[in-house]
Structure 1
Amino acid sequence: MSNKLTKRAVCILSGGMDSTLSSYIAKNEGYEIIAVHFNYGQRTEKRELKAFRDICNDLQIEEKYEIDIPFFTQIGASALTDASIDVPTGGVEPGVPITYVPFRNGIFLSIATAIAEKEEAQALFIGVVEEDSSGYPDCTDSFISKMTSAINEGTKETTKIEIKTPLVKLMKKDIVKKAIELDVPLKHTWSCYKEEDEACGVCDSCRLRLNGFKEANIIDPIPYKA
Structure 2
Amino acid sequence: MRNVNNKKAVCVMSGGMDSTLSAYMKKNDGYEIIGVHFNYDQRTQKKELECFHKICKDLDVSQKYVLDLDFFKLLGASALTDKSIEVPTNGVEEGVPVTYVPFRNGIFLSMAAAIAEKEGASAISIGVVEEDSSGYPDCRFNYIKSMEQSINLGTKDETNISIDMPLVKLKKSQIVEEAIKLNVPLELTWSCYKNEEKACGVCDSCRLRLNGFEIAGASDPIPYE
For normalisation by structure 1, the TM-score amounts to: 0.98
Preserved CA contact (<8 Å) 2:6 2:121: no
Per-residue CA deviation, residues 120-176 of structure 1 (Å, 9 max, x unaligned), is 100000000000000000000010011011100000101100000000000000000
Counterpart position of 2:138: 138
Preserved CA contact (<8 Å) 1:92 1:134: no
Aligned counterparts, 1:1-226, within 5 A: 6-225=6-225
CA-CA distance at 1:6 after TM superposition? 3.1
Unaligned runs of 5+ in 2: none
CA RMSD of aligned residues (A): 1.2
Amino acid at match of 1:17: M
Q: How many residues align?
A: 225
For residues 116 and 3 of structure 2, the distance between their equivalents in structure 1, rounded to whole angstroms, comes to 15
CA-CA distance at 1:94 after TM superposition? 1.6
Question: Secondary structure of the residue that 2:9 maps to in structure 1?
Answer: strand
Moved over 2 A (4+): 1-6
For residues 210 and 102 of structure 1, the distance between their equivalents in structure 2, rounded to whole angstroms, comes to 26
Per-residue CA deviation, residues 77-126 of structure 1 (Å, 9 max, x unaligned), is 00000010000000042200000000000000000000000001000000
Amino acid at match of 1:89: T
Amino acid at match of 1:11: C
For normalisation by structure 2, the TM-score amounts to: 0.98
For residues 82 and 57 of structure 1, the distance between their equivalents in structure 2, rounded to whole angstroms, comes to 31
What fraction of aligned residue pairs are identical, expressed as a percent? 66
Question: Secondary structure of the residue that 1:22 maps to in structure 2?
Answer: helix
